[in-house]
């Protein structure tokens, strides 16, 4: 199933830019070619929708989010990352989740470049968070201090959206599970 809350924008590869800004020492801007010409990371993880469907063993290819965030010099007070998208959509994620080894900015899905409907040119994937946090057509990553609603959160969806805690809607009473980095010492 392919879903687009605000329609499917058509974005040219040569015109697209990704900005990393907000609470950083040095705001950065990248082109598609800059980001895809370096060695890519691969990750095989399932993709979970809040409406209780999943796609098993999706192969994501791109760059770990921390490889894009750390060079900007993330400020110590930054604790949330807001994804802003070409269609006006936004999605906040806890910075701790974004910095995990299994969190990436994806350019390819199952061996093929993302289609426009899948979020071309880029979308984040954060293992363990519901799919609405995997914002399509991302063009800006803003580091923030404190939480702000994104598109779905303004409609009552959960701030964090942990799949294993079933954090679907605000007011979830479960105790969040502390995630541990995968593949780190």
According to DSSP, residue 122 is labeled: -
Nearest to 137 by CA among 118, 109, 161, 157: 118
Give the per-residue pLDDT at 179. 40
Cβ(45)–Cβ(127) under 8 Å?
yes
pLDDT tens column, 6-51: 566 678 889 999 999 999 999 999 999 999 999 999 987 665 565 5
Integer Cα distance of 85 and 52 in angstroms: 24
pTM above 0.85, yes or no: no
Share of the chain above pLDDT 90, in %: 49
The 10s digit of each residue's pLDDT in 47-85 is 556 556 455 677 889 999 999 999 999 999 999 999 999
Query: Mapping DSSP to helix (H, G, I), strand (E, B) and coil, where does residue 100 land?
Result: coil
pLDDT digits (tens, 9 = 90+) for 110-122: 899 988 888 899 9
pLDDT at residue 181 is higher than 50: no
Place of tokens 């679907």: 168
Domains of the chain: 17-149 (3.90.420.10)
pLDDT (average), residues 132-156: 86
Question: Tokens in use for 67?
Answer: 């490889």
**Nearest CA among 55, 64, 176, 56 for reference residue 125:** 64
**pLDDT, position 54:** 54
d(CA 135, CA 73): 23
Beta bridge partners of 62: 41, 106
Helical (H) or strand (E) element with 35 = helix 32-36
Which tokens belong to 151?
């598109």
pLDDT at position 115: 86
């Amino acid at each position: 199933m392919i879903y687009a809350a605000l329609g499917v924008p058509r974005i040219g590869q040569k015109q697209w830019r990704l900005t990393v800004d907000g609470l950083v020492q040095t705001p950065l801007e990248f082109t598609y070619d800059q980001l895809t010409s370096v060695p890519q990371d691969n990750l095989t993880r399932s993709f979970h929708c809040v409406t209780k469907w999943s796609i098993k063993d999706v192969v994501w290819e791109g760059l770990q989010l921390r490889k894009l965030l750390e060079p900007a010099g993330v400020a110590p007070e930054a604790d949330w990352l807001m994804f802003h998208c070409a269609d006006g959509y936004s999605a906040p994620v806890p910075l701790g989740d974004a910095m995990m080894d299994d969190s990436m900015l994806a350019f390819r899905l199952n061996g093929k470049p993302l289609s426009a409907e899948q979020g071309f040119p880029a979308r984040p994937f954060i293992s363990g968070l519901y799919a609405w946090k995997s914002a399509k057509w991302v063009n800006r990553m803003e580091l923030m201090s404190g939480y702000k609603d994104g598109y779905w959160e303004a409609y009552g969806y959960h701030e964090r959206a942990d799949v294993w805690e079933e954090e679907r809607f605000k007011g979830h009473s479960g105790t969040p599970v502390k995630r541990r980095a995968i593949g780190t010492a």
